[in-house]
Amino acid sequence: MQRLQDRVAVITGAGSGIGLATARRFAEEGAKVVCVDLDEPTGAKAADEVGGLFVRADVTSEDDVVRMYQTAFDTYGSVDIAFNNAGISPPDDDSILETGLDAWRRVQEVNLTSVYLCCKHVIPYMRRQGKGSIVNTASFVAVMGSATSQISYTASKGGVLAMSRELGVQFAREGIRVNALCPGPVNTPLLQELFAKDPERAQRRLVHIPVGRFAEASEIAAAVAFLASDDASFITGAEFLVDGGISGA
Ligand code: NAI
């Protein structure tokens, strides 16, 4: 199936986990993929694998964000899909009583401000084209909170969800769809890092997942490809849960 034939897709955090799986899936579906990551070796490797372009960028830097879309446009002639996905996990003790202001600000910067910057700078391209699809990675915790203390992370993802909803409504008549992807726990380096610090956390999470396991990144990528494609032409401003049933349990 070539649902994304010749669409130009910019993916942030493409060097690892969900971003990497989505780069692979988009390429399989015919897209021209621009892999963006802070980490040069993994980002370049991903781009090489999918036959795309690598742009090293820090998504918290406005200059970098402007440059990555400009590079995509200059190389391929359009920017049709933006998957704003780069993010970091919560700091070690992320309870409201323990998280310091610096740690809080860092998480907002990488997880939320980056999405603001990406949307701000990609929408002008999509407006000129009269179409585009933006998928912003939030999380199931944006919808239901988390029993494990991760207040800065949950708040950042809540912001992504709210921003996506508003932008989805605001730009619907210009042919630009904006959706928030809300994955449940996914077996990626980000999750493995959290579990390495607190091994019991994996078991605590697992009991709340009705399907009885963590997602594979490829299962999330399948949902992103759907949202990015014309198959999702009537879906905008949505909170799109791919969570193995957690939020319904
Ligand atoms: P990951 O850690 O495997 O990949 C994240 C990628 O983002 C890395 O390649 C990293 O280098 C890149 N990155 C980090 N900061 C960056 C920056 N400032 N500029 C550019 N690139 C940067 O993580 P994973 O699990 O694939 O997560 C992707 C997104 O999904 C994140 O936003 C995360 O919060 C979200 N998410 C993950 C879940 C999970 O269980 N793994 C569940 C729900 C949401």
Predicted confidence (pLDDT) at residue 22 exceeds the cutoff of 80: yes
Q: Is 90 in the pocket of ligand 1 (CB under 6 A)?
A: no
**Residue range 96-106: mean pLDDT, rounded:** 96
d(CA 89, CA 232): 29
Predicted confidence (pLDDT) at residue 89 exceeds the cutoff of 90: yes
Mutate to test the pocket of ligand 1, among 10, 12, 16 (most ligand atoms within 8 A of CB): 16
**Over the stretch 132-183, which tens digit does the pLDDT of each residue have?**
999 999 999 999 998 888 999 999 999 999 999 999 999 999 999 999 999 9
Q: Is 164 in the pocket of ligand 1 (CB under 6 A)?
A: no
Superfamily of domain 8-242: NAD(P)-binding Rossmann-like Domain (3.40.50.720)
DSSP symbols for 108-163: HIIIIIHHHHHHHHHHHHHHHHT-EEEEEE--THHHH--SS-BHHHHHHHHHHHHH
**CA quadruple 24, 127, 235, 61: dihedral sign:** positive
Tokens of 136: 């912003």
Q: Is 85 in the pocket of ligand 1 (CB under 6 A)?
A: yes
d(CA 7, CA 79): 8
d(CA 134, CA 122): 9
Q: What residue ranges do the domains of the chain occupy? A: 8-242
d(CA 110, CA 172): 26
Q: Is the ipTM of this complex over 0.90?
A: yes
- CA-proximal residue: ligand 1, atom 33 (nearest): 87
pLDDT of residue 1: 61
Ligand 1 centre and the CA of 56: distance in Å?
15
**pTM check: above 0.95:** yes
**CA quadruple 92, 63, 79, 161: dihedral sign:** positive
Ligand 1 centre and the CA of 89: distance in Å?
8
Tell me whether residue 153 is one of the annotated catalytic residues.
Answer: yes
Ligand 1 centre and the CA of 10: distance in Å?
15
What is the DSSP pairing of strand 132-137 with strand 176-183?
parallel
d(CA 161, CA 138): 6
pLDDT of residue 119: 99
What is the share, in percent, of the chain residues with pLDDT greater than 70? 100
pLDDT of residue 135: 99
